[in-house]
Structure 1
């Protein structure tokens, strides 16, 4: 089995929603609101939404549909210690496709896109999310600040971490 990572198209919104529900990140009751938000992100030229499709030898052309996805955010204003800029959003992978390197591939694709545009990539995460923190270290993400909230991301009952990584030098 192999995976392709590509920019999302409007036709992928249903597959993204299905993957998010399968991963337990969105409830069916929130499906309409979620789909509207993803549609807006896919259409926004200041953002990137990427999808992962799985392929095997018997299904090399069409793939299995969306098995994972990730997005970026662009903030055109600072919010406390969180500057304006391009931020990595969350990564979602269907449970049956986890532990295959998809989160890293989805992150790599978004960072490549961001670093074609800006010198620094930003990212916020719950301070207790060790898996995510470890994943992002490979691209040089370093802690900038801690807080209960950055931009629209609130960390109820926890602490968030604001991190940044510089574009690699050629």
Structure 2
């Protein structure tokens, strides 16, 4: 399936040491390149707006090249769905994660998702995401946060789903993060 990581339970590489940090406008070109390599559409203007939006968390993941220089290997974002335009409720959503295909299965999507969930936990008591039911790799990734299916619809948060149906998932954030712990904000 173009754009989705293949679902390969148990397949993996040795985890890569990864640093996750807030994205800056200068990271947009690397984000676009990751989208291209992954065969996914890119929206540079939307990425630039999100980087400067306090209701969004845009992150990049960096690993070391063979020469020891930091390279961007993945990125992810959140968004606040503020206006109900379809059955999806308002709230904070995980807005997608993309890892360069040559760096997949090394814990990068996990690190990006953990940081985004933490960011939302500082602001809300629940987190949502929408997913195509064929994206089994994403559904499996999110299990560790106890996401549960809320509903299925052909349109969620303004997104029309290929295949005609998307899944709205929700996780309760039982304990809000302590603002003194030094995590991403």
Q: TM-score, normalised by structure 1?
A: 0.88
The answer to whether residue 94 in structure 2 is matched with residue 85 in structure 1 is no
Partner SS state of residue 18, structure 2? strand
* 1:71 match: 77
Q: Distance in 1 between matches of 2:113 and 2:49?
A: 20
What is the CA-CA distance between 1:156 and the residue it aligns to?
Answer: 2.8
TM superposition outliers: structure 1 runs of 4+ over 4 Å: none
What is the CA-CA distance between 1:35 and the residue it aligns to?
Answer: 1.4
Q: Note the 1:54-69 alignment, pairs <5 A.
A: 54-55=63-64, 58-59=67-68, 62-64=69-71, 66-69=72-75
* 2:163 match: 157
Q: 1:38 aligns with which of 32, 47, 52?
A: 47
Q: TM-score, normalised by structure 2?
A: 0.81
Moved more, 114-123 or 68-77: 68-77
Q: 1:103 aligns with which of 100, 104, 109?
A: 109
* 2:33 match: 18
Q: Which ranges in structure 1 are unaligned for 5 or more consecutive residues? A: none
* 1:117 match: 123
Q: Distance in 2 between matches of 1:149 and 1:38?
A: 22
* 2:182 match: none
What is the CA-CA distance between 1:56 and the residue it aligns to?
Answer: 5.6
C-alpha contact (below 8 Å) 2:86/2:158 kept by paired residues: no
Query: 1 or 2, which has the higher helix percentage?
Result: 1
What is the CA-CA distance between 1:12 and the residue it aligns to?
Answer: 0.6
The superposition leaves residues 38-85 of structure 1 with CA deviations (integer Å, 9 ceiling, x where unpaired) of 0001010100110011126851xx412x11001111111224431111
The superposition leaves residues 84-137 of structure 1 with CA deviations (integer Å, 9 ceiling, x where unpaired) of 111001111111100101111110010000010000100100112221111111
Q: 2:152 aligns with which of 143, 146, 150?
A: 146
Partner SS state of residue 138, structure 1? helix
Q: Which ranges in structure 2 are unaligned for 5 or more consecutive residues? A: 1-15, 177-185
Q: Distance in 2 between matches of 1:48 and 1:87?
A: 10
RMSD: 1.6
